[in-house]
Amino acid sequence: MKVILFGATGMVGQGVLRECLLDDGITAVLAVGRAPTGQTHAKLRELIHRDFTDFSGVAAELTGYDATFFCLGVSSLGMKEADYRHVTYDFTLAAARVLAQQNPGMTFIYVTGAGTDSTEKGKTMWARVKGETENALFKLPFKAAYMFRPGAIQPLHGITSKTGVYRVAIAVMRPLFPLMRAMFPRSIATTEQVGRAMIAVARGGAEKTLLENQDIAAIAQRNSAR
Ligand SMILES: NC(=O)c1ccc[n+]([C@@H]2O[C@H](COP(=O)([O-])OP(=O)(O)OC[C@H]3O[C@@H](n4cnc5c(N)ncnc54)[C@H](OP(=O)(O)O)[C@@H]3O)[C@@H](O)[C@H]2O)c1
C-alpha cells in the first residue's frame, strides 16, 4: 500500500508516520508539508509545498497512491472563525479535491476530534467547521472516506506537539496518562493507536465512517500483531 501523509511534522502525524514506516505492508510514504520532517527512511519521500489552497501544480506527484492520512490541523484556541476555517476547511478540501481526481481508488482518512458537529449548526465554532469539512469530504469521489474523531491523544515514543500550549499540557499530564487511560479508555488514545488504526482502516475498511476513540482503540488492537 502506498500512502500520502499530511501533517507529518505534527503530533498526530508523527505518530502515523512512525507506524507507516514500521508497517511492512506499506511500501511508500509521501509526506506533504510546508517544512521537512527531518526524518530519513527508504520508504519516505517528501513534498515541500507552499500554497495549501492550490495543489493543481503538484497533481502528478499526488498520483498513484492508495490512501491519504490527513493529519494537518490547528487548534482553534484564540483563532477567528474565518482563519480557522481557512486552514481546516480550505486546505483540506483543496488537497482532497485533487487527490480524489487523481486517485479514484483512494481511501481518505481525516482527523477531526471528539464532539465534531455533523449538523454544522451548533454553538461550538471548531466543531461546526470540522463537521462541515467532514461532510464535504464525504461528497468527494473517493473509494472511501473515514473520519477519525479522537478525544485526547497521548503522544508516545518521544513525539511532541507543535502547539506550545499542548506541549505544556502534555508535559504536566505525562505521568498521569497511564492512569487516565485506564480510567477513561473511551476518551484517550495514543499516537500509536491512531497510526495503527488508520493503516488498518485504509487496508480493510471499517464498519462505520465516523470513528470515535473506542473504535480507534479496537481497530488498533486488531492491527497490533504486525
Ligand atoms: N493532539 C490531540 O490531542 C488531538 C486530539 C484530537 C484531534 N486532534 C486533531 O488532530 C489534528 C492534528 O493535531 P496535532 O495535535 O498533530 O497538531 P500539531 O502537533 O499542532 O501539528 C499540526 C500539523 O499541521 C501542520 N500545519 C498547521 N498549520 C499549517 C499551515 N498553515 N500550513 C501547513 N501546515 C500546517 C503542521 O505543520 P508545521 O510543522 O509546518 O507547522 C503540523 O504538521 C488537528 O486537526 C487536531 O484538531 C488532535
Structure confidence at residue 101 (pLDDT): 98
What is the distance in A from the centroid of ligand 1 to the CA of 11?
A: 7
What is the distance in A from the centroid of ligand 1 to the CA of 10?
A: 5
**Number of the ligand 1 atom closest to the C-alpha atom of 13:** 16
To which residue does cell 479508555 refer?
185
CA 51/CA 119 separation, integer angstroms: 30
Structure confidence at residue 225 (pLDDT): 55
pLDDT value at 185 more than 90:
no
All cell numbers assigned to 52: 495549501
Residue 104 to residues 61, 164, 181, 182: CA-CA distances in angstroms?
Answer: 15, 38, 38, 41
CA 166/CA 2 separation, integer angstroms: 31
Report whether residue 211 contacts ligand 1, using a CB cutoff of 6 Å. Answer: no
> Which pTM value belongs to this model?
0.97
Structure confidence at residue 163 (pLDDT): 84
CA 159/CA 115 separation, integer angstroms: 24
Report whether residue 186 contacts ligand 1, using a CB cutoff of 6 Å. Answer: no
Structure confidence at residue 226 (pLDDT): 52
Q: Residues 23-32: pLDDT tens digits?
A: 999 999 999 9
Q: Which residue, judged by its Cα, is nearest atom 15 of ligand 1?
A: 11
Report whether residue 195 contacts ligand 1, using a CB cutoff of 6 Å. Answer: no
**Mean pLDDT along residues 86-96:** 98
> Strand locations in 57-112, DSSP E?
67-70, 107-111
What is the distance in A from the centroid of ligand 1 to the CA of 74?
A: 5
All cell numbers assigned to 208: 462505520
| CB atoms inside a 10 Å sphere around CB 123 | 7
Q: Which residue, judged by its Cα, is nearest atom 21 of ligand 1?
A: 10
Residues paired with residue 211 on neighbouring β-strands, in sequence order:
148
CA-closest candidate to residue 48, choices 60, 30, 66, 25: 30
What is the distance in A from the centroid of ligand 1 to the CA of 70?
A: 10
Q: Which residue, judged by its Cα, is nearest atom 39 of ligand 1?
A: 9
Tell me the CA end-to-end span of the chain in Å, nearest whole number. 15
Structure confidence at residue 91 (pLDDT): 98
Structure confidence at residue 68 (pLDDT): 99
What is the distance in A from the centroid of ligand 1 to the CA of 12?
A: 7
Q: Residues 192-222: pLDDT tens digits?
A: 999 999 999 999 999 999 999 999 999 998 8
